[in-house]
């Protein structure tokens, strides 16, 4: 026990290198799986034979993969607020909604007051009314608007202790969708189109920058095909890129000073303050970064559905996102990704399919999808009872929960010092 280990001291600084290579390895896995899925759906699936195709279309259509990616993006964002900084947020759906409506405003014919249309690198057909920006630009814009909203909601409320903060965010998550629902007539101005929502959205350009056609004189040359609403494969590529961005940012930020500040606040706010961590600024940053990703998720969700409707943004979304973060393992980005993929697939495809099979098998008539919240609730309860650290916990959580604490009595037994 009293043995001095200078090696340990010397190897400690190399730790960040290990973490970096760990991150690289995971990044490779992420890319490999993403490419594999793309190859599978593009090339392998058409050659699979009709029964194989039916199974895939029923149990794992690419649309459900895309939707799961939307959840991944938002869950990774919520993980920054809840997992990294330890601030409970029950209203994350608000950012999702703001992101969605940003896409609706800037990527559709909705603002028909602009009768000739305002175009910027858009893949939309020309001479339509409304604002038509490039989807990648809209992603950035939605992220910034949401980050601003996060700061506005955070500034007065982040001084509250955790329970009260949770209540305030809950209220925020309820208010924002109501604003969109009732925003059809703001002193005569139609901001949100009310319950009818905004539909359809512009086609998106698969290229990160630039339109899909270049006009030379009178001729327009197509350099890439704009994506229609049913072009799921190309949307998949786009969603994977956005998800990769969210994952990359949340991994990098975690290693930096801000990440350490969040971790310290999560572990012990008072002690963090005594170490010189600026509490308000760090918490606001967590809100802003998380909200930014919520905004990305909102745009991607709008693109996925080719529309935005206010009733899609309900309280349950906040809870499902929270369940994903808890199931995967708070703070661990990879765990959260798995949690989001599994729960999103289960909710959109797995449970209805299982229900159909079950009903056919046993001749019953049970509406399984209507019990989905029973399953989510049970998952949360069971996780809290048996595996509080999540399926794939952060190493730091796992180690402390598994290593028994040494007592002072033990120490006296050893008679050291």
Partner 1 sequence: MTATESSPASTRPGEPMLSVDDIALYYGNIAAVKGLSMRVHKGEIVTLIGSNGAGKSTTLRAISGLIKPRAGSISFNGERLTGKQGHEIVKAGICQSPEGRRIFPRMTVSENLDLGAFLRNDKEGIAADRARVLELFPRLADRISQKAGTMSGGEQQMLAVARALMGSPQLLLLDEPSMGLAPVLVDLIFDTIETIRDQGTTVLVVEQNALAALRIADYAYVLESGSLKLEGPAAPMAEDDEIVRAYLGG
Q: Which of 15, 17, 188, 256 binds partner 1 (CB under 8 A)?
A: 15
Cβ(121)–Cβ(127) under 8 Å? Answer: no
Is residue 277 involved in binding partner 1 (CB under 8 A)?
Answer: yes
Q: At its nearest, how many Å lie between partner 1 and the CB of residue 379?
A: 24
Q: At its nearest, how many Å lie between partner 1 and the CB of residue 7?
A: 10
Q: Which of 209, 270, 361, 365 binds partner 1 (CB under 8 A)?
A: 270
The secondary element (H helix, E strand) that includes residue 219 is strand 219-222
Q: How far is CA 65 from CA 49, 128, 159, 236, 239, in A?
A: 21, 32, 39, 8, 10
How many CB atoms are closer than 10 A to CB 3?
4
Is residue 384 involved in binding partner 1 (CB under 8 A)?
Answer: no
Is residue 14 involved in binding partner 1 (CB under 8 A)?
Answer: no
Token pair 């998949």 in the structure block, residue: 236
**Alpha carbon distance 139, 215 (integer Å):** 25
Is residue 12 involved in binding partner 1 (CB under 8 A)?
Answer: yes
The secondary element (H helix, E strand) that includes residue 254 is helix 232-255
Q: Which of 231, 275, 292, 358 binds partner 1 (CB under 8 A)?
A: 275
Q: At its nearest, how many Å lie between partner 1 and the CB of residue 252?
A: 18
Token pair 């001749």 in the structure block, residue: 363
Residue 329 or 355: the one with the smaller Cβ distance to partner 1 is: 329
Residue 2 phi/psi, 5° resolution? -80, -5
Nearest one of 235, 279, 285 to 256, comparing CA atoms: 285
Q: At its nearest, how many Å lie between partner 1 and the CB of residue 324?
A: 22
Contacts of 108 (CB under 8 A, 6+ apart): 130, 131, 132, 198, 199, 200, 201, 202
**Alpha carbon distance 43, 151 (integer Å):** 45
Q: At its nearest, how many Å lie between partner 1 and the CB of residue 260?
A: 6
The secondary element (H helix, E strand) that includes residue 221 is strand 219-222
Is residue 271 involved in binding partner 1 (CB under 8 A)?
Answer: yes
Site size with partner 1, rule: CB under 8 A: 43
Is residue 264 involved in binding partner 1 (CB under 8 A)?
Answer: yes
Decide the pairing of beta strands 213-216 and 219-222: antiparallel
What length does the chain have? Answer: 417
Encoded tokens for 200: 């359809």
Among the residue ranges 188-196, 229-237, 243-251, 261-269, the one whose residues contact partner 1 (CB under 8 A): 261-269
Q: Which of 278, 366, 374, 377 binds partner 1 (CB under 8 A)?
A: 278
DSSP string for 166-184: HHHHHHHHHHHHHHHHTTT
Is residue 257 involved in binding partner 1 (CB under 8 A)?
Answer: yes
Among the residue ranges 56-64, 216-224, 273-281, 362-370, the one whose residues contact partner 1 (CB under 8 A): 273-281
Is residue 51 involved in binding partner 1 (CB under 8 A)?
Answer: no
Is residue 255 involved in binding partner 1 (CB under 8 A)?
Answer: no
Among the residue ranges 103-111, 355-363, 364-372, 401-409, the one whose residues contact partner 1 (CB under 8 A): 401-409
Q: Which of 58, 268, 311, 356 binds partner 1 (CB under 8 A)?
A: 268
Is residue 261 involved in binding partner 1 (CB under 8 A)?
Answer: yes
Site for partner 1 in 29-48 (CB under 8 A): none
Q: At its nearest, how many Å lie between partner 1 and the CB of residue 166?
A: 22
Among the residue ranges 40-48, 170-178, 260-268, 354-362, the one whose residues contact partner 1 (CB under 8 A): 260-268
**Cα-Cα-Cα-Cα dihedral sign, residues 375, 379, 380, 381:** positive
Helix (H, G, I), strand (E, B) or coil at 87: coil
Q: Which residues pair with 118 in a beta bridge?
A: 131
| Measured CA angle at 47 (ends 45, 48), to 5 deg | 65
Is residue 116 involved in binding partner 1 (CB under 8 A)?
Answer: no
Q: At its nearest, how many Å lie between partner 1 and the CB of residue 417?
A: 6
Helix (H, G, I), strand (E, B) or coil at 197: coil
Residue 135 or 264: the one with the smaller Cβ distance to partner 1 is: 264
Q: Interface residues with partner 1 (CB under 8 A)?
A: 1-6, 8-9, 11-12, 15, 257, 260-261, 263-264, 267-268, 270-280, 396-397, 399-400, 403-408, 410-412, 417
């Amino acid at each position: 026990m009293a043995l001095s280990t200078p090696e340990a001291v010397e190897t400690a600084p190399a730790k960040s290198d290990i973490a970096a290579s760990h991150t690289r390895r995971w990044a490779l896995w992420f890319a490999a799986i993403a490419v594999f899925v793309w190859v599978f759906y593009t090339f392998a699936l058409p050659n699979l034979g009709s029964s194989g195709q039916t199974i895939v279309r029923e149990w794992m259509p690419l649309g459900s993969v895309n939707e799961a990616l939307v959840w991944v993006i938002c869950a990774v964002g919520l993980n920054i607020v809840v997992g990294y900084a330890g601030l409970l947020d029950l209203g994350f759906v608000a950012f999702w909604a703001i992101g969605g409506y940003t896409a609706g405003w800037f990527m559709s014919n909705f603002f028909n007051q602009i009768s000739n249309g305002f175009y910027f690198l858009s893949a939309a057909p020309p001479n339509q009314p409304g604002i038509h920006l490039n989807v990648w630009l809209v992603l950035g814009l939605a992220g910034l608007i949401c980050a601003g909203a996060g700061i506005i909601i955070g500034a007065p409320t982040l001084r509250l202790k955790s329970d009260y903060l949770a209540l305030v965010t809950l209220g925020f998550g309820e208010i924002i969708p109501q604003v969109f629902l009732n925003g059809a007539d703001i002193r005569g101005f139609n901001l949100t189109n009310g319950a009818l929502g905004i539909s359809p959205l512009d086609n998106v350009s698969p290229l990160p920058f630039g339109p899909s056609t270049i006009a030379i004189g009178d001729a327009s040359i197509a350099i890439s095909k704009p994506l229609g609403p049913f072009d799921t494969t190309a949307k998949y590529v786009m969603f994977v890129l956005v998800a990769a961005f969210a994952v990359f940012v949340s991994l990098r930020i975690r290693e930096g000073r801000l990440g350490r500040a969040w971790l310290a606040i999560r572990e012990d706010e008072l002690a963090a303050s005594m170490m010189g961590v600026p509490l308000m600024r760090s918490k606001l940053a967590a809100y802003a970064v998380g909200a930014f990703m919520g905004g990305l998720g909102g745009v991607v969700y709008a693109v996925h559905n080719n529309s935005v409707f206010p009733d899609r943004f309900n309280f349950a979304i906040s809870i499902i996102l929270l369940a994903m973060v808890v199931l995967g393992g708070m703070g661990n980005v990879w765990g959260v990704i798995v949690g989001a993929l599994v729960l999103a697939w289960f909710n959109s495809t797995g449970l209805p399919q299982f229900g159909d099979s079950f009903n056919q098998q046993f001749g019953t008539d049970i509406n399984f999808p209507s019990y989905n919240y029973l399953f989510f609730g049970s998952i949360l309860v069971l996780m809290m009872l048996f595996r509080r650290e999540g399926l794939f916990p952060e190493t730091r959580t796992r180690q402390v929960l598994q290593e028994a604490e040494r007592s002072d009595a033990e120490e006296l037994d050893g008679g050291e010092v």
